Structure 1
């Protein structure tokens, strides 16, 4: 069959096995009450945020009463909704997107966080402190470039009447606001695609995003004007996982108002618990579509920490209580907001925290029910997260043809370019640049260390930051241990307490090959500049070269190589694990792009010959940092013994 075939089934040789929907978010079982099964909620796209009279998008972060599965909760959200409204930016040139972020909380709420299911080192963070990150944007990382006639005025501006760019180090406290301007086309026309926005305040990112403070950010371009996609039925599918059933989550009582004093989710450990997957804030909504309709689904996975395998099955009843086990192949045309250079067809759309996937699916020509199922390690049979009713009652289809692969592929960014590598102008591609310039190792194991004891109850509560040593570093702890979690055997907070300017530095307008590994499994994400994923042996991802900004890395796949291109913008941003609890616990690096020859930016100091010691290096007295360098260089082997650091 060709690419226009309707709903190709995978595994046609399987027997007629029937699976029942199970687990959280299923269509059967948990929705049944004294009056019988409840009707599933109707699918709705998120509302779109409209600019005010001055062309500014107004986002308000604060406590909001929301209803999920018949219960009311008081959550930290945007504009009183679960999830935040969609920001859609039409195709254009020199686009400048103004966003005012208002923090409607009036006071701080300091809470403990800790890794290893609460058994790790504790720190204290303000869950009501916030900021804004445009995940997938290629814009100025710190402050927007000054534009004549457009100076920032009023409260919420940076110094010098500047707007903030994608500045995730800025903090917006309770009662404060910040003015952002995202100049999308400052470095040429911004790539079109499906992105998203969310808070990115270290220590509180996970709890805020898991509460539903996240929304789709769609940048339109040439792909969206392709006739087949213009006429397709587009759905914006934001998947989140609010901790509605955690033991410490407190729903609102009947008639109880939602305030900052009775928030439902305040326990950091709830982020690690298994939770139902919501679609646009609803449990297992029901879509209705025409027979033969081509649909374009913009998937945004704003959940954490689980990886999900999204599959589409034919339902054996109208409620998806049972479905055919043979999944249906789906066509991916874009990943992480960037058009793919060829179609990727698979029966599973694997999504890790932070992922976006654009899918095109043609509905069957006969009436039936389809079931969208999410599987994870803790839920191998999968849970139905949405049902699709294919019916003539939906009217005539608006489009019945999938786009041509060649038409989509020609809009993808090139996977070869000319750039500076090690001071030489040359061709840059996965085949041409083979030398590894930097290693990224997520959650490096400590050689010979026994697994920590994770048994026993733990409780994380409110805290006083003055009692938590949050800003100090441990000078007496063992130097030859890797903290958990970490990147390259180092924690974000520890590096800040030592006063390091940054953790990884590069020169603007250069390219490098990075090698990324993980001890178990983690989604690696970097801000500002997407990277080119080189061909690999993953069984979950496209195996051909393509651009991404978030990539699942697991031990079984070995090293994953990517090409970085540090285009146009200098400044500081971060790279981190997008399991947001890991990021909050310190699995993050402060990255800085420096101008050529800027030794203050590039160099921590100089050696005896006057050569630059990289900002990514170590102070002489920081022995743990020196051990971390050795551990990273040797990984996956253990570092060689060093009595000067570790003793005999």
Structure 2
């Protein structure tokens, strides 16, 4: 078997395991769970200060979880961060000041291919803030004389930062953000989240618990059956509690930036317990017949999970019925679904949000929320639901009507410009594929990593690490990991302004593919997923901002609608270690006719060479274009680029 075939076999096996998550049950083995069960609590909500600003502090925090005291990088001394809730309205401007309370840098190695590939050096104490799911200005908030940014932490020209993930907030610094939710019409309501998005350190910071829910209220919250339902905000994270290099705090030991518990980037790859709002297997108390609305945020990485609800055979869920209970999903990725999606599995990939309605049984009993992963196929109980009259009278006993929910969902057709012509846009009307996105790890042409060899990542000297181009990088192999056979750092080092360009207020059909399995995510503008054959999540047209793709399923077609805002942001794999390693693109939306933004240069006929194209002499870029176009087949031989 040649190298390509071995890599394809590995990718296919991984994809098959990922696809099995939704189908696997508890027939043969029952899930494992720990001892004492803490009481479930929603995260506290972050209230504005007297100036109307919500203040987030990123720094070292002592937390207790799973019977251990750990010193972690978190927000406001909590595991996880507080919920930011925005009431229904128009003209809403959300002010957030992010304070980096570290006092020094902490440079650590990261490495691709589960530690066996290219290494680079990043400051784990450098940070910033991303509103995952927001449709707002990507770089700077729009200038407003009545609300100018003053003092330290502002962007240029006295403006606030928008959803600017390219900005870096160093130790001791502050950054002032303003998210103008309704600048492009009333923002869609739903469950979103916020987290750091600093290239090279995103995974370690989110894994530590620097993540919180971002709830935007609107018409859906007033629908009968939802308005009075018992709401739960469930932020699911996976702290490296038991990793061999995690160092708990000693008895009475203070938490400082000198003794952080988690510093090993490779801990992201290990099996870790799923916490809900920072608690290990919390117990929820609810009334018989109660209708509950679960706002689920999957802030873990890099594993996919299939979450099922079973009837327990005892009050601790040490055993449960094999047949799960169906649940009704009403929203995905912070956007209301146009129809109910009823399934016995809530299937989530990193970055997903799912809003699920659950009607509790009429009799007292115990329910078990069980999550299954590729490396935990028997599953683990992540929450115990105690259906008991001690909870008091239910607040709602009637489920919402599908028609009422569908009435407030965004339409799946719209009017936009496609290829220079204004038209009605839908999955049926736009068939031309304008852009291809291929996410590759492992990459064709490279040996699979040795998963059994010991790998050690240490602190590092940034001056001795190259983040970009290595003269020894092979031209005719895709770097690991990558999108379209290109790595984020390589393009930055070579001086490319952006990696993918579009024109504002236009629409395009994109085709998303993956080698093994990856969650594709893009900032600022959600996309319409066209009908497909998925057996894990809705396969009717609906809006998303994060979507699982794998080689087994073939291409996933989506419609992009580049509304209102110009500027730069990113698209990437939301397995956060893959993003840190370079599986990310710098995306830019340009004003019509902005040649400097749209064009890398001109050809011999004066035509625009797209910013996504190749500089003269960049052979690796030329190979990447051929590899992307040919995928899933290997690129045709090209002796001029690759030799005989």
TM-score by length of 2: 0.95
The Cα shift of 1:446 comes to 4.7
Q: Is the 2:336–2:409 contact (alpha carbons within 8 Å) kept by the matching residues of 1? A: yes
- Residue 303 of structure 1 corresponds to 300
Q: Is the 2:443–2:481 contact (alpha carbons within 8 Å) kept by the matching residues of 1? A: no
Query: SS of the counterpart of 1:228?
Result: coil
- Structure 1 residues 312-334: Cα deviation after superposition (integer angstroms, max 9, x where no partner): 00000010000101011000000
Say yes or no: does 1:509 pair with 2:505: yes
Q: Distance in 2 between matches of 1:16 and 1:327?
A: 9
- Structure 1 residues 196-254: Cα deviation after superposition (integer angstroms, max 9, x where no partner): 00000000000000000000000000111123212100000000000010000000001
The Cα shift of 1:475 comes to 3.2
- Structure 1 residues 610-638: Cα deviation after superposition (integer angstroms, max 9, x where no partner): 10000001111211111000000111111
Q: Distance in 2 between matches of 1:454 and 1:543?
A: 35
Say yes or no: does 1:375 pair with 2:376: no
Say yes or no: does 1:113 pair with 2:110: yes
The Cα shift of 1:454 comes to 3.9
Q: Distance in 1 between matches of 2:53 and 2:311?
A: 44
The Cα shift of 1:18 comes to 7.6
Q: Distance in 2 between matches of 1:42 and 1:319?
A: 13
- Residue 428 of structure 2 corresponds to 431
Q: Is the 1:77–1:213 contact (alpha carbons within 8 Å) kept by the matching residues of 2? A: yes
- Residue 152 of structure 1 corresponds to 149
The Cα shift of 1:159 comes to 1.5
Equivalent of 1:522 in 507, 515, 518 = 518
Q: Distance in 2 between matches of 1:627 and 1:43?
A: 53
- Residue 641 of structure 2 corresponds to 645
Q: How does 1:96-111 map to 2 (within 5 A)?
A: 96-111=93-108
**Taking structure 1 as reference, are residues 447 and 116 closer, same or farther at Cα in structure 2, changes over 3 Å only?**
closer
The Cα shift of 1:537 comes to 0.5
Q: Is the 1:18–1:322 contact (alpha carbons within 8 Å) kept by the matching residues of 2? A: no
- Residue 335 of structure 1 corresponds to 332
Equivalent of 1:401 in 398, 401, 409 = 398
Q: Distance in 1 between matches of 2:522 and 2:26?
A: 44
TM-score by length of 1: 0.95
Q: Is the 2:436–2:511 contact (alpha carbons within 8 Å) kept by the matching residues of 1? A: yes
Q: Distance in 1 between matches of 2:419 and 2:261?
A: 52
The Cα shift of 1:448 comes to 4.6
Q: Distance in 1 between matches of 2:222 and 2:25?
A: 43
Query: SS of the counterpart of 2:146?
Result: coil
Equivalent of 2:129 in 128, 132, 141 = 132
Q: Is the 1:47–1:86 contact (alpha carbons within 8 Å) kept by the matching residues of 2? A: yes
- Residue 571 of structure 2 corresponds to 575
Q: Is the 2:26–2:378 contact (alpha carbons within 8 Å) kept by the matching residues of 1? A: no
- Residue 6 of structure 1 corresponds to none
**Taking structure 1 as reference, are residues 271 and 90 closer, same or farther at Cα in structure 2, changes over 3 Å only?**
same
Q: How does 1:353-372 map to 2 (within 5 A)?
A: 353-372=350-369
Equivalent of 1:606 in 602, 606, 612 = 602
Q: Distance in 1 between matches of 2:328 and 2:366?
A: 19
- Residue 499 of structure 1 corresponds to 495
**Taking structure 1 as reference, are residues 479 and 41 closer, same or farther at Cα in structure 2, changes over 3 Å only?**
same
The Cα shift of 1:386 comes to 0.2
Equivalent of 1:52 in 21, 44, 49 = 49
Equivalent of 1:584 in 580, 596, 612 = 580
Equivalent of 2:31 in 10, 17, 21 = 21
Q: Is the 1:19–1:324 contact (alpha carbons within 8 Å) kept by the matching residues of 2? A: no
- Residue 554 of structure 2 corresponds to 558
**Taking structure 1 as reference, are residues 72 and 445 closer, same or farther at Cα in structure 2, changes over 3 Å only?**
closer
Equivalent of 2:66 in 64, 69, 78 = 69
Query: SS of the counterpart of 1:282?
Result: coil
- Residue 210 of structure 2 corresponds to 213
The Cα shift of 1:476 comes to 3.6
Say yes or no: does 1:388 pair with 2:385: yes
Q: Distance in 1 between matches of 2:443 and 2:525?
A: 31
**Taking structure 1 as reference, are residues 425 and 261 closer, same or farther at Cα in structure 2, changes over 3 Å only?**
same
Equivalent of 2:410 in 388, 409, 413 = 413
Equivalent of 1:348 in 325, 329, 345 = 345
Equivalent of 1:267 in 264, 275, 284 = 264
Q: Is the 1:292–1:364 contact (alpha carbons within 8 Å) kept by the matching residues of 2? A: yes
Equivalent of 1:228 in 218, 225, 230 = 225
- Residue 9 of structure 1 corresponds to none
**Taking structure 1 as reference, are residues 316 and 18 closer, same or farther at Cα in structure 2, changes over 3 Å only?**
farther
The Cα shift of 1:477 comes to 2.5
**Taking structure 1 as reference, are residues 237 and 445 closer, same or farther at Cα in structure 2, changes over 3 Å only?**
closer
Instruction: Flag structure 1 segments of 5+ consecutive residues without an equivalent.
Output: 1-13, 32-37
Number of residue-to-residue matches in the alignment: 621
Say yes or no: does 1:41 pair with 2:38: yes
- Residue 3 of structure 2 corresponds to none
- Structure 1 residues 350-397: Cα deviation after superposition (integer angstroms, max 9, x where no partner): 000000000000000001000000001111111000000001111111
- Structure 1 residues 553-575: Cα deviation after superposition (integer angstroms, max 9, x where no partner): 01111000000000000000000
- Residue 470 of structure 2 corresponds to 474
- Residue 322 of structure 1 corresponds to 319
Q: Distance in 2 between matches of 1:459 and 1:476?
A: 23
Q: Is the 1:532–1:545 contact (alpha carbons within 8 Å) kept by the matching residues of 2? A: yes
Equivalent of 1:196 in 193, 212, 220 = 193
- Structure 1 residues 429-453: Cα deviation after superposition (integer angstroms, max 9, x where no partner): 0000001000000016654544344
- Structure 1 residues 168-211: Cα deviation after superposition (integer angstroms, max 9, x where no partner): 00000000000000000000000000000000000000000000
Structure 1 segments of 4 or more deviating over 6 A?
A: none
Q: Distance in 2 between matches of 1:576 and 1:443?
A: 11
Q: Is the 2:571–2:587 contact (alpha carbons within 8 Å) kept by the matching residues of 1? A: yes
- Residue 3 of structure 1 corresponds to none
Q: Is the 2:498–2:586 contact (alpha carbons within 8 Å) kept by the matching residues of 1? A: yes
Q: Distance in 2 between matches of 1:222 and 1:586?
A: 39
- Residue 5 of structure 1 corresponds to none
- Residue 11 of structure 1 corresponds to none
- Residue 255 of structure 1 corresponds to 252
- Residue 290 of structure 2 corresponds to 293
Say yes or no: does 1:632 pair with 2:628: yes
Q: Is the 1:18–1:323 contact (alpha carbons within 8 Å) kept by the matching residues of 2? A: no
- Residue 35 of structure 1 corresponds to none
Q: Is the 1:139–1:569 contact (alpha carbons within 8 Å) kept by the matching residues of 2? A: yes
Q: Is the 2:441–2:516 contact (alpha carbons within 8 Å) kept by the matching residues of 1? A: no
